[in-house]
Chain A
Amino acid sequence: MPLTPDQKKELEAQMQEYVGKPISEPTPGRDVVNEPMIRQWCDAMGDTNPAYLDPDAAKSSVHGDLVAPPTMLQAWTMEGFSMHEGYDEPRNNEHRLHKLLTEHGYTSVVATNTEQGYTRYLKPGDTVTAETFIDEISEEKATALGIGYFINTRTKFTDQDGEEVGWLTFRVLKFIPQQQPQQADASDTPASSAPARIAAPRGHDNSAWWAEVDAGKIPIQTCNQCGELFHPPRPMCGKCGAMDMGYVTSSGKGTIHTFTVIHHPQFPGYDFPILAVLVDLEEGTRLMSNMVDCKPEDLHVGMAVQGSVEEGEDGMKLPVFRRAG
């Protein structure tokens, strides 16, 4: 059930009470910076930097001694195993804020941004203490994942002497998931089957054109009565009015009439940037397609190109163009 405007106002007022407040007293890490945790981290990340793993190599490096990967900063003060319990029994203000949102239907959470600064590298034996504040809560936003609120926190990390060793800001989205919760089912299809390109729609007017492409040809529609060429295909000759249409095969030779380099938005299934070219075919008519084996900066109007039909990994056959010669 979506919230009524009054309920939403009430929720947002309750949320704002958390802004600017620490989530708890400063929290010391459960363990000092230590080699076993560093090794476990490096194993999981495939990191073989000797500065983290080899005391002798580390001594002769700029670090002067074994150090922890700086990106581990946050790991030293993470709560650990009890995090699996969730927020039903909140253990700090951040949990309380998350629980408040969960109770209003914003059940999912995902991290979206982090910025971190490392004042110095940590060494085994250092103690790390984190102090986290709730910095900002956005207005309600519609995102690809669902509707929700962005919550920004800021954390300062200090060592055993009270000196700052680093800081971070962390942004999470607390949201209403778009998909309904599903039963876990081991027989599910793989979660990450890669998205494919969208196949060209084929209808009465253009399916014969695509059938020619499937046969490896670059077709141009022609009027069987007067010989006029057309693209895209159509049911009737625009010149003589005949409805007797056929196809000739282009040599694929042409020149770039105009082009565009598409960087955004990046739809899944396509490689970006896309080099979209409009080609003047030597027989006449223009064909829009992709330029391949060409750098965006080398594209220019008037460039001589050669077309050919190629089959992608997804089995889709398309005419593509390359620089001629």
Chain B
Amino acid sequence: MTTSLSFSDVSVGDELPPLDVPLTASIIVGGALASRDYTPVHHDRAAANAAGMGDVFMNILTTNGYVGRYVTDWAGTDAQIKGLAIKLGTPNLPGDTMKMRGKVTEAGADGTVVVEVVGKNSWGNHVEGTVTVALPVGG
């Protein structure tokens, strides 16, 4: 990835390239441990079962990481994420796929762009929210 989007490249309504994340226990456990979240339901299936879930499920920090990655995969190295707001819905479980889709919903004159992101699995929306990102203005 050597290219970066400039603010002038982006318009409201632009869609981000789709990203399908095949969910495995390794991704779920790997994400939990990389975010230092050792809550047992994210790495121990017996604990997840005891909490009423069929298997280990993705922690919110990993979801957050994927949302950030999805936006910078599109926007490039010179993008600066200013903030995000996400809401979790259906859990991400091994064997499923999270289909990430995004769309530009706002573009302010100062180079700030708001991207609406949805990550959907077979049960519905795992995550929906917005990411605010600053893009380089001008050459």
**Contacting residues, chain A, for B36 (C-beta < 8 A):** 75, 78-80
What's the nearest-Cβ distance from chain A to residue B40, in Å? 5
CB-CB contacts below 8 Å: B19-50 with A:
21, 23, 27, 30-31, 33-40, 43-46, 49-50
Check if A44 sits within 8 Å of B96, measured CB to CB: no
How many A-B residue pairs have C-beta atoms within 8 angstroms? Tell me. 186
At the interface, yes or no: B55 with Cβ under 8 Å from chain A?
yes
What's the nearest-Cβ distance from chain A to residue B99, in Å? 11
At the interface, yes or no: B86 with Cβ under 8 Å from chain A?
yes
**Contacting residues, chain A, for B90 (C-beta < 8 A):** 268
CB-CB contacts below 8 Å: B55-86 with A:
55, 59-62, 64-69, 72-73, 77-78, 80-86
Chain B at the A interface: SS class: mixed
At the interface, yes or no: A204 with Cβ under 8 Å from chain B?
no
Check if A182 sits within 8 Å of B49, measured CB to CB: yes
From known contacts A181-B49, A184-B49, infer whether A112 and B35 are also in contact, taking CB-CB under 8 Å. no
**Contacting residues, chain A, for B13 (C-beta < 8 A):** none
Report Cα–Cα, A182/B54, bound state, in Å: 9
At the interface, yes or no: A187 with Cβ under 8 Å from chain B?
no
Q: Per-residue CB proximity of A32-72 to B under 8 Å, as 1/0?
A: 00000100110111111111000001100111000001111
CB-CB contacts below 8 Å: A185-219 with B:
188, 190-195
Report Cα–Cα, A311/B16, bound state, in Å: 31
At the interface, yes or no: B108 with Cβ under 8 Å from chain A?
no
Number of A residues, CB within 8 Å of B = 66
Report Cα–Cα, A115/B53, bound state, in Å: 25
Check if A191 sits within 8 Å of B55, measured CB to CB: yes
Check if A266 sits within 8 Å of B125, measured CB to CB: yes
From known contacts A112-B88, A113-B88, infer whether A75 and B35 are also in contact, taking CB-CB under 8 Å. yes
B51 — nearest CB in chain A belongs to which residue? A108
For B122, give its contact among A179, A180, A194 (CB under 8 Å). Answer: A194
**Contacting residues, chain A, for B138 (C-beta < 8 A):** none
What's the nearest-Cβ distance from chain B to residue A113, in Å? 5
At the interface, yes or no: A86 with Cβ under 8 Å from chain B?
yes
Q: Per-residue CB proximity of B1-31 to A under 8 Å, as 1/0?
A: 1101000000000000000010100010011
From known contacts A69-B65, A113-B86, A181-B50, infer whether A266 and B77 are also in contact, taking CB-CB under 8 Å. no
For B84, give its contact among A86, A108, A116 (CB under 8 Å). Answer: A116
Check if A62 sits within 8 Å of B78, measured CB to CB: yes
Report Cα–Cα, A194/B120, bound state, in Å: 12
Check if B84 sits within 8 Å of A115, measured CB to CB: yes
Q: Per-residue CB proximity of A137-158 to B under 8 Å, as 1/0?
A: 0000000011000000000000
At the interface, yes or no: A295 with Cβ under 8 Å from chain B?
no
At the interface, yes or no: A117 with Cβ under 8 Å from chain B?
yes
**Contacting residues, chain A, for B35 (C-beta < 8 A):** 41, 72, 74-75, 78
What's the nearest-Cβ distance from chain A to residue B135, in Å? 9
At the interface, yes or no: A4 with Cβ under 8 Å from chain B?
no
Check if A115 sits within 8 Å of B94, measured CB to CB: no
B123 — nearest CB in chain A belongs to which residue? A268
Check if A45 sits within 8 Å of B52, measured CB to CB: no
A81 — nearest CB in chain B belongs to which residue? B38
What's the nearest-Cβ distance from chain B to residue A31, in Å? 9
Check if A83 sits within 8 Å of B39, measured CB to CB: yes
For A44, give its contact among B27, B55, B67, B136 (CB under 8 Å). Answer: B27
**Contacting residues, chain A, for B125 (C-beta < 8 A):** 266
From known contacts A44-B30, A75-B35, infer whether A190 and B95 are also in contact, taking CB-CB under 8 Å. yes
Check if B52 sits within 8 Å of A178, measured CB to CB: yes
**Contacting residues, chain B, for A285 (C-beta < 8 A):** none
Can you list 7 A-B pairs with a CB-CB distance of less than 8 A? A62-B77, A63-B78, A71-B65, A74-B64, A116-B83, A177-B52, A192-B122
Please give the residue numbers on chain A whose beta carbons come within 8 Å of chain B beta carbons, in ascending order. Answer: 37, 40-41, 43-51, 57-58, 61-63, 69-72, 74-75, 78-84, 86, 107-118, 121, 145-146, 170, 177-184, 188, 190-195, 266-269
